A and B are shown apart, each in its own frame.
Chain A
Amino acid sequence: DAKTTQPPSMDCAEGRAANLPCNHSTISGNEYVYWYRQIHSQGPQYIIHGLKNNETNEMASLIITEDRKSSTLILPHATLRDTAVYYCIVRSTTDSWGKLQFGAGTQVVVTP
């Protein structure tokens, strides 16, 4: 699976949009981009995933560049409960049985 690069940390003001970048320059055609988050001491929580089109759900939006080498997770209105480590994962679904390879992620702190 392709590797990802994320900033180690970022702060966001409550009520503002949080834009979390992720680089995955070696992504291949059959690899999806997944985002999970882990709130302190809890199990990871699925947020969203996409292949090449932008995706939106009730939690977030995922913007994938046309060349698929990077993506941005957008939390439209950050709340204090969004403070967590956010993981961007590139995942092959054809030859790795769907297992997730977590990196260090981005520690997001939402401040009042």
Chain B
Amino acid sequence: NAGVMQNPRHLVRRRGQEARLRCSPMKGHSHVYWYRQLPEEGLKFMVYLQKENIIDESGMPKERFSAEFPKEGPSILRIQQVVRGDSAAYFCASRGQGARNEQFFGPGTRLTVL
């Protein structure tokens, strides 16, 4: 059973470009979380999605960030018009049914904004 997959692993964008980060959850998992880790800081929750629904986006910046988890395909975290402050590691995690089940994390996407 493959783990959580994220791609790309490294992404370089210039200021003003768009960044699209993909996350394929573990097989059978329909709950996805995105977290961000800024340089030298801890992980911060961004958004929680179930298939086709955003359940909790309380950690998402109000502008330029969006997330989706379509019925088919991976979850996408999209950052429009990136700025240098968006440079960070973005991790996604998935879990099965049951909120107290552990979350399994992917290897992360490291976004660098030039």
Contact = CB atoms under 8 A, between A and B. Distances in A.
Interface of A: 32, 34, 38, 41-46, 49, 91, 93-94, 96-105
A36 to B, nearest CB: 8
A56 B65 CA distance: 40
Nearest to B47: A99
Contacts of B95: 98
B2 interface: no
Listed residue (A32, A38, A97, A101) with the most chain B CB atoms within 10 angstroms of its CB: A97
Contact of A32 (B31, B42, B93, B100): B100
Question: 8 tightest CB-CB pairs across the interface, nearest first?
Answer: A43-B105, A98-B99, A93-B100, A93-B99, A46-B102, A102-B43, A99-B45, A102-B42
8 contacts: A42-B107, A43-B106, A44-B105, A46-B103, A46-B105, A97-B48, A98-B31, A102-B35
B99 A103 contact: no
Contacts of A104: 42
Chain B interface, >50% SS class: strand
B99 A97 contact: yes
B91 interface: yes
B114 interface: no
Interface string B48-86: 100000011001000000000000000000000000000
A49 B102 contact: yes
A100 B48 contact: no
B108 interface: yes
Nearest to A102: B43
B108 A43 contact: yes
Given A42-B108, A43-B107, A100 B33 contact: yes
Given A42-B108, A43-B105, A97 B100 contact: no
Given A49-B100, A97-B99, 12 more contacts: A41-B108, A42-B107, A43-B107, A46-B103, A46-B104, A91-B100, A93-B98, A98-B31, A98-B95, A98-B100, A99-B45, A104-B42
